[in-house]
A and B are shown apart, each in its own frame.
Chain A
């Protein structure tokens, strides 16, 4: 049965305002699912948590608005809402053009309100997945919840508990961009290790430098080790051992960084000055 898709050129034209309607097509694979209706309901469900953050950020503009800590709460909640709305498995989820449709058409306003720097300002098309697809905001939300989902947990609250943990930059830099981040049990163990306290979901248990060093060590280990053969317990033991080694390695190197580095949340990548975006 058909599901909606939007190709890159059509997405660009629609976002730039040169098309009166988005040129949505459809692909005919997989079982029937009420995509448009579900997407409309999802946009409504996301409205309340989004509006709450917007009230907190009233008057803020620029990068400070986009990177504000209040968004952590929204993204944790939104990830779960997006994941619950979509089917557990469907051919549509394997198609980039489907995610482009979802981000650019029914959830366009959500993406824009999340990433605009000021009222009426331009949104970086990368957040819709134009450029590196993996930066599609809606896909990233869904992926966060899917990676963290504990299918063995008895209640829905517990199944999605880990999706609430971790800062966005942690998920982006140290999970989504890493091959080990594709192994679900490994990711759950990783999230529990770095963010062990459910009451403090955005506070890492390890300093930022240790998390970065740990991620590098895990990346190297992945070259030789199939992390998928590890259950969560094995993965947790491996991660604990590597975290200890990361701390020891950093201690041996001695204090190098200025205190402003330590103030940055764990997982936040060092960002060089960005080249000017196209006007």
Chain B
């Protein structure tokens, strides 16, 4: 969100998130790490590892790094007197939990780090899991000074592997629903569209299986999808504009409860805001979005208009013969 709100240099993350500027040169130290899950398989750098149908019959999870062991001793010396360790944490979306899989002093890291197979099996039972390897402080360092980590657990370098279904997943898939389906879902039978929420607009696309679904009335779906003629295109663009607003409205509670510092640059929301700015649809910082989704009807209209600009509705309508 800083790209929209500061007007100055664009940071990769809000200024409160990565303050360890003295160690920024080694943040990528684990970028070459690779994760292996099956026995005998070549570990993959990923960061995405597809979950095979039916899961893994056998698990022998391990992480390999090439760069780190080579520089380990120099790194320990450079970071001294800070105590540092390498940790591996696993996260499972359902049931929602994270677990420490391995930790060892940095000085003892070799090129292969074995993980507990039983614990990893529990984590990857879900269709979306993460395994994160990081170099962290092993103890508080209150005298660290600016630009350096000072709390136990603060990471210096990290890499996250995502394990789940194939990357062909669609973050915002379109579904077709007939009149009976609308009624079953509790809507009027002739509902044109609905945005049905699944994930979080404050997370990145890579961090979640699905953000939301766009459900479209079957007869409209059949007449628009795959139709290239100008009239169909104009209708699609108009619909897209409404869908954009409906998507933000579906996540209204998350947006209204957030502060600018809470919205990572990689989140879906930050991405949408950048798109609106690039399309010259206005400057939409978090404060303005909150007003539009909250108590200010005129801002709500302007937000709708911003999505109309982003969707190119007027241009598409102008091409109707």
Name A's B-contacting residues (CB within 8 A).
9, 12-13, 16, 18, 29, 89, 91, 93-96, 99, 122, 125, 131-134, 139, 142-143, 146-147, 173, 176-177, 179, 181-184, 216, 219-220, 223-230, 234, 238, 269-272, 275, 277-279
Contact = CB atoms under 8 A, between A and B. Distances in A.
A181 B97 CA distance: 8
6 contacts: A147-B97, A216-B259, A223-B17, A227-B153, A238-B151, A277-B186
Interface of B: 13, 16-20, 55, 85, 87, 89, 91-92, 94-100, 103, 122, 125-126, 132, 134, 136, 138, 149, 151-155, 180-181, 183-188, 191, 194, 196-200, 249, 252-253, 256-257, 259, 261-262, 264, 293-294
Given A269-B253, A272-B293, A278-B187, A224 B149 contact: yes
Given A29-B125, A177-B200, 4 more contacts: A89-B122, A94-B125, A183-B98, A224-B18
Nearest to B139: A234
Contact of B100 (A12, A96, A229): A229
Given A216-B259, A279-B186, A184 B97 contact: yes
Contact of A96 (B94, B186, B196): B94
A148 B171 CA distance: 32
A233 B187 CA distance: 50
Contact of A226 (B55, B87, B184): B87
Contact of B153 (A142, A219, A230): A230
B11 to A, nearest CB: 13
Interface core residue of B16, B95, B126, B152 (most chain A CB under 10 Å): B95
Nearest to B251: A132
A229 B87 contact: yes
Contact of B125 (A91, A96, A234): A91
Given A94-B95, A224-B154, A226-B153, A125 B264 contact: no
What secondary structure prevails in chain A residues at the interface with B? helix
A219 B202 CA distance: 12
Interface core residue of B184, B196, B253 (most chain A CB under 10 Å): B184
A278 B186 contact: yes
A270 B256 contact: yes
Contact of B96 (A29, A176, A220, A277): A176
Given A173-B257, A183-B98, A225 B185 contact: no
Contacts of B134: 226
A113 B20 CA distance: 51
Contacts of B19: 224
Given A132-B197, A272-B256, A228 B96 contact: no
B103 A229 contact: yes
Nearest to A277: B186
Nearest to B203: A179
A228 B97 CA distance: 10
B96 A225 contact: no
A279 B197 contact: no
A12 B184 contact: yes
